[in-house]
Amino acid sequence: MDIRPLSIAGAFEITPRQFQDSRGTFAEGFRIDRLAEAIGHELHVRQTNISVSTAGALRGIHYSDVPPSQAKYVTATSGVFIDFVVDVRVGSPTYGQWDSVRLDTIDRRAVYVGEGLGHALACVEDGVAFYLCSELFNPARERGLNPLDPEIGLVLPEGFFPVVSDKDAAAPTLEAAADQGLLPTLEASLAYTASLVGS
């Protein structure tokens, strides 16, 4: 299993080794010890999510208040997705920037999205994404940004025509969320992550 840090601190791309024979393919999709080496603490899974999407679906940009936020480990069990990690942490050197990873059933990659980061998922081919989450969903603490905010400027695949939920379309831009005090800070995010060490 190869774990590579993305350009947004606190986010990682995980690529499993795959073993093939006449029966099919085997791979380790999640290793708590290997991930802990990268992120500095164990990911305690408190909820799993299954997201079934049709091509064109664009989900996000979603994030949660810190603390505790909600770290996510996301992979595709079918189809093709582009997974976006967006730095929405006020005070971060990469604030407003993003990185992305292609999730499919060829490389079987996963993405780890740390506390305080924004997350969006673009479905390129009909499929299913599977999430491991560090916290239970709490609608009172769930936040969102408009995924088509030009200031953030997510680059979608050529020929991709985004289908966005009414809720996501009505979400504020990054600038508006910052003005309203809705964004997490880098300081709070790092402090909470540090509190998880040894837990």
For 51-108, how does the pLDDT look when each residue is reduced to its tens digit (9 = 90+)? 999 999 999 999 999 999 999 999 999 999 999 999 999 999 999 999 999 999 999 9
Query: What's the confidence (pLDDT) of residue 94?
Result: 98
CB 98 within 8 A of CB 87: yes
HSE, side-chain direction, 13 A CA sphere, residue 19: 5
Query: What's the confidence (pLDDT) of residue 24?
Result: 95
Number of other residues whose CB lies within 10 A of the CB of residue 106: 10
Taken in order of first residue, the domains within the chain and their CATH numbers are 2-195 (2.60.120.10)
Query: What's the confidence (pLDDT) of residue 71?
Result: 98
By annotation, the residues acting in catalysis are: 62, 131
